[in-house]
Structure 1
Amino acid sequence: MSTKRGPLHGKTVLDLTTALAGPYATLLLAGLGARVIKIENPTRGGDSSRNNSPYVTGEGLSLQRTSAQDMSVSMMVRGRNKESITLNLKHPRSREVFLELAREADIVVENYSAGVTERLGIDYAAVRKVNPRLVYTSISGFGAQGGDGKAMDTIIQALSGVMMTAGEPGDPPVRFGLPVGDLVAPLFAVIGTLSAVLHADKTGEGQHVDVSMLGSLTSLVACEPFDALESVGIPLRTGAVVPRLAPFGTFRAVDGWFAICAPTDAFAAGLLRAIGRPDLVDDPEYATRDARVRNAGDLHGRIQEWSARRPLSEVLAALEANAVPAAPVRDTAEAVRDELVLSRKEVVPLVHPEFGFVEGLYGSGLPVTFSRSATDLSRPAPGLGEQTELVLGALLGYDDATIDQLRAEGVL
């Protein structure tokens, strides 16, 4: 068995997050080797993800919970490699317990709405007094200063402009099926957290890391200068193709779809040969990139006319034989079973702590491979409060009587 440890081994994270954006950030930290202690509200059944249908039961997947051992697929994905304790942060004494935990931790991650942690007395200012080295990361919809409205993924997609980057001109807004707003922000949160940890390790000084979902997604939209492109006549929404990179886009074969990315002269020449038109390689309308952009509609039409009469296997074979970058468009079920992706543990089987693996159930891995460190997301998600006694006893030295008293008072 490998003795390699994760690069964050020895770091302790207090996880105050719920739903998706925050829990995905702490999942990544757990996969990198940090000890993640998930703090859940006992009065609301813990993280809201615990009540997301479907559930894994003793009989397999079910839309309804059938026993106390059943666990939602959402929690099975987001709770891996974490420990769970319960703490009712609205109880007056809970602040004392939380600050004792913070004194022993290296990182706190929370995704409450702006202002909530201050009202609870567990904001960065409060934590900094007991642990100046601690890195305190906040993920919110609009940033620490707050904003109007609720920060749901679809709301963030709408406000960021990303919904208007897909589809054909004149189409209604296109909501991404993947919750990109909820998934981009935690990536920036982890980058910010690790940068702040490096700073703390060098200087002994912690800090507040403030990441907004809206800013994270909008910053990616701004990577493409859409306004400038429109000003020179390049449309914002181009549907299945990208005229300014022609030949570039997705096309239909008889039995499926495929994608082509061939913007260079060499790739474009290979594509013209693949579709049986080597005579067009030196044609002034296709020989240069600028010419292909001017004639993108005609070029893409030629590709579609050629592929529409052929099976996908024949289309891909012709493109491959001519060194054209191309690939079939796979559905999600096929994609997550890719042998390469599975072998690199970028996607991994999900395991229920009691019922084991359910056929066909996969979750995100940690798509980073280190030459000297390990990553791992193989430990099943915990039950609600499963490690409460362990954490409070081992980390804070609470005895059984103290823990029982806290339970009786409604703190835990």
Structure 2
Amino acid sequence: MTDQPLAGRTVVDLTTALAGPYATLLLAGLGATVIKVENPATGGDSSRNNAPYVGRDGLNLARRYDDDLSVSMLLRGRNKLSVTLDLKNPRSRAVFTDLVRDADILVENYSPGVTDRLGISYERVREINPRLVYTSISGFGAQGGPGSGKAMDSIIQALSGVMMTAGEPDEGPVRFGLPIGDLLAPLFAVVGTVSALLQAEHTGEGQHVDVSMLGALTSLVACEPFDAFEAVGLPQRTGSMVPRLAPFGILPALDGYLALCAPTDAFAHGVLRAIGRPDLADDDRYRTRDQRVRAADELHELIREWCRVRPLAEILAAFTAEGVPAAEVREPREAVRDPLVLAREEVVPLTHPRHGAVADLAGTGVPIRFSGARVALDRPAPGLGEHNEHVYRELLGYTEQQVADLVAEAVI
């Protein structure tokens, strides 16, 4: 489609697991042609073997039929073309060269040193196509880091400090439930990739875009001055409440939980009116923000006791009437089915490429709206090597015999 922001751009996708594939998923949603290169010797992207699976019988914890697809691949593989290519096979070099010669972008998330061993490093690819934007997503950056240089999301969370920003002060570290390290780095990678693509249009030169999971997540930890909090005696870990913004936090209701965000005088006084204590707005303990911070525990307990015996609907109606920001705390399944995010296609239904909507599944969309362009993740995930014929024969111009020889020699 020519009405998409990255229409006409080709991406060679050498990624696996989550961080890399999420970056190329976004590029695909923005309209780029993403050619996902998978190793036939290992069964392709590791996500293809992530439980649960979906197929003709719906969802199952184990694969039952040959055409069952991992939900992970069903989500991350959309709008991509899958080809097989064993980059460890010496004969793959010529095929790889043909793939990148006219490409605009290459994205890889190998451990440091692997691309050198495979002969597909930035320096090598630059010789083939100097205009190409070569994006690397890794745990610690292209130069490597602690230990082996390999990184998983929990390792990145641990090293970034984010595990010590949540939870109660006297508790152990808390792992963020969403794989935030894996999901954050690809966002920066896409920003860097598109920026480098724009620069290449002016200079005629591509470049290496290097994003580390640790750096991306730690940079966000540094957006909050936790070191300053510690220096002035403010706790860094405060559990469900945030005393320095009081009243602010997660509160229990009779039938669930709500998030309350009332750090300003206007919001805080609205809370006091909502709970039937307008007199406290002039109390020296709660009149100003600094006073509320000093009396945060007492103020939060007052609000907590009022909320605890009332249903969510009543509480939210009372706060809303006073203009106070508050919302129910949703379960993920309910949240991803919000009519608003569905209407904006920020979340979209997932369907099996052969069996359709055999399970009620929701997946990420492209959460960006353009006034003059279309973005979408509307094509199902491919089978392993499903587009070999299309890419090798139609796009690269290989003959039938050439493709047959590559298959016979286990190159593809």
TM-score interval, normalised by the smaller of the two chains: over 0.9
The 1-side partners of 2:256 and 2:108 are apart by: 43
**1:106-255 mapped onto 2 (5 Å cutoff):** 106-147=104-145, 148-149=147-148, 150-255=150-255
Structure 1 residue aligned with 2:18: 20
* Range that drifts further, 324-333 or 283-292: 283-292
**1:371-410 mapped onto 2 (5 Å cutoff):** 371-410=371-410
The 2-side partners of 1:305 and 1:68 are apart by: 56
Please list the CA deviations of residues 349-368 of structure 1 after superposition, one character each: whole Å capped at 9, or x if unmatched: 00110010134211000100
Letter in 2 for 1:141: G
* Range that drifts further, 78-87 or 168-177: 168-177
Note the residue ranges of structure 2 that are not aligned, 5 or more in a row: none
The 2-side partners of 1:385 and 1:396 are apart by: 15
Please list the CA deviations of residues 306-354 of structure 1 after superposition, one character each: whole Å capped at 9, or x if unmatched: 1111111111111111111000000001101100000000000001100
| Aligned counterpart in structure 1 of residue 47 of structure 2, from 46, 49, 63 | 49
The 2-side partners of 1:314 and 1:300 are apart by: 18
Please list the CA deviations of residues 191-249 of structure 1 after superposition, one character each: whole Å capped at 9, or x if unmatched: 11011000111111000000001111110101011011111111010000111111100
Letter in 1 for 2:14: L
The 2-side partners of 1:43 and 1:9 are apart by: 32
Letter in 1 for 2:280: L
Percent of residue pairs identical: 68
The 2-side partners of 1:27 and 1:95 are apart by: 25
The 2-side partners of 1:169 and 1:155 are apart by: 21
The 2-side partners of 1:210 and 1:365 are apart by: 25
| Aligned counterpart in structure 1 of residue 59 of structure 2, from 61, 71, 92 | 61
Letter in 2 for 1:91: N
1:324 aligns to what SS in structure 2? coil
Letter in 2 for 1:199: Q
Structure 2 residue aligned with 1:75: 73
1:177 aligns to what SS in structure 2? coil
Contact 1:167–1:239 (Cα < 8 Å) also in 2:
yes
The 2-side partners of 1:336 and 1:108 are apart by: 31
Structure 2 residue aligned with 1:325: 325
The 2-side partners of 1:410 and 1:313 are apart by: 62
Letter in 2 for 1:56: V
- List structure 1 runs of 4+ shifted beyond 3 angstroms: none
Contact 2:56–2:358 (Cα < 8 Å) also in 1:
no
The 2-side partners of 1:350 and 1:358 are apart by: 9
Letter in 2 for 1:302: L
- Tell me the CA shift for residue 4 of structure 1: 6.3
1:358 aligns to what SS in structure 2? coil
Contact 1:254–1:307 (Cα < 8 Å) also in 2:
yes
- Tell me the CA shift for residue 375 of structure 1: 0.4
Structure 1 residue aligned with 2:99: 101
Contact 1:31–1:375 (Cα < 8 Å) also in 2:
yes
- For the pair 1:355 / 2:367, whether they are aligned, the reply is no
TM-score by structure 2 length?
0.98
Contact 1:263–1:289 (Cα < 8 Å) also in 2:
yes
1:84 aligns to what SS in structure 2? strand
1:360 aligns to what SS in structure 2? coil
Structure 1 residue aligned with 2:283: 283
Figure out how many residues of one structure are paired with residues of the other and give that number. Answer: 410
The 1-side partners of 2:308 and 2:406 are apart by: 69
- Tell me the CA shift for residue 189 of structure 1: 0.4
The 1-side partners of 2:9 and 2:174 are apart by: 41
Please list the CA deviations of residues 237-284 of structure 1 after superposition, one character each: whole Å capped at 9, or x if unmatched: 000011111110000011100011011111011000001100011111
Contact 1:142–1:213 (Cα < 8 Å) also in 2:
yes
Letter in 2 for 1:50: R
TM-score by structure 1 length?
0.98
Note the residue ranges of structure 1 that are not aligned, 5 or more in a row: none
The 2-side partners of 1:358 and 1:230 are apart by: 52
The 2-side partners of 1:276 and 1:179 are apart by: 41
The 2-side partners of 1:4 and 1:92 are apart by: 37
The 2-side partners of 1:66 and 1:183 are apart by: 30
Please list the CA deviations of residues 148-199 of structure 1 after superposition, one character each: whole Å capped at 9, or x if unmatched: 2430000110010000000000111000110000000000000110110001
Contact 1:4–1:372 (Cα < 8 Å) also in 2:
no
The 1-side partners of 2:374 and 2:21 are apart by: 21
